[in-house]
Amino acid sequence: MTLCGLAAVVLVAGCGAQQPEQGAPRDAPHHAPPADSRPRMEQVAAAWEGSAALRQWREGFHPLGPQDWQLPGGFRSGQDKAAYAAGNFALRTGLPDTPPPATPVHWPDGSTLLLPLQTAAQAYDELDRDPDRVPALQVTGVRFGETTVRTSRGPARVPAWLFAVEGYDTPLARIAVGPHELPNPRWSRGRTSTAARLRCSATRAHRTRRPSA
């Protein structure tokens, strides 16, 4: 990874990214890192390149970005959008009680990775975070399949549980495998490390959902 590439990862990937101050305009300009940060970047790049942490990042399963429900036509209503954002679902069907078949993660270069799979019940429990609120999105069916996600190694086909939701043709996919623990390279302390930022990013990718427009 080049110094510029590492700098981009440091600035973009982590949950430690700076947020506008309270009361600051949303379009306020973001300032570039100070010039004297280059030696620090070079130090981090040297520690990262060739490290076991980098190898783990390139060989493991690390999703990037949240699991969004990609709806071609958007939500039918603001109520549906709010229910999705809140994790408000109602189960109107039975969940498969048999373990899913062993299904590896596939990358375009032909590499694969076999990981433990969640049951349908485990995936639904993560999905339905606020079951008592109404109105709720009605889950009318579930099947095992695959979905495509962005990862640290590029796009991947990943085993997933596909939930049919009343009123929508596109199923809601929840990946059926958990991400690997993120690498924790041992470079100097004192500032938030690249690995810590990446760890936050991937954790948010696995746990966070954002409603589509």
**Residue 50: left (phi > 0), alpha (psi -120 to 50), or beta?**
left
Tell whether 136 is covered by a domain: yes
Inside any domain, residue 26: no
Instruction: Please state, as a whole number, how many other Cβ atoms lie within 10 Å of the Cβ of residue 81.
Output: 17
Lowest mean pLDDT among 48-57, 75-84, 123-132: 48-57
Domain span at residue 150? 3-15+36-184+193-207
Judged on CB neighbours under 10 Å (0-12, 13-18, 19+), 73 is exposed
3-state secondary structure of 61: coil
25 lies in some domain: no
Q: pLDDT digits over 97-120, tens only?
A: 988 999 999 999 999 999 999 999
Q: What is the per-residue pLDDT for 51?
A: 64
User: What's the DSSP call for residue 150?
Assistant: E
Q: Is residue 28 included in any domain, yes or no? A: no
Number of domains in the chain: 1
pTM recorded for the entire structure:
0.65
Q: Per the domain annotation, does 29 fall within a domain?
A: no
H helices then E strands: how many in the chain?
A: 6, 6
- Any domain includes 24: no
- What pLDDT shows up at residue 35? 59
Q: Any alpha helices (H) in the chain, and if so which ranges?
A: 3-12, 38-48, 52-59, 78-86, 120-127, 194-207
* Confidence label for 28 from pLDDT (cuts 50, 70 and 90): very low
Tell me what pLDDT residue 101 has.
92
Residue 32, pLDDT score: 56
Question: Is the residue at 213 inside a domain?
Answer: no
For residue 77, CA distances in Å to 82, 90, 137, 185 come to 9, 17, 11, 46
Written as one letter, the residue type at 213 is A
89 within some domain:
yes
Interatomic CA distance for residues 181 and 203, integer angstroms: 9
What's the pLDDT at 183? 62
Per cent of the chain over pLDDT 70 is 59
pLDDT digits (tens, 9 = 90+) for 126-184: 999 877 777 899 999 999 999 999 998 999 999 999 999 999 999 999 999 987 666 66
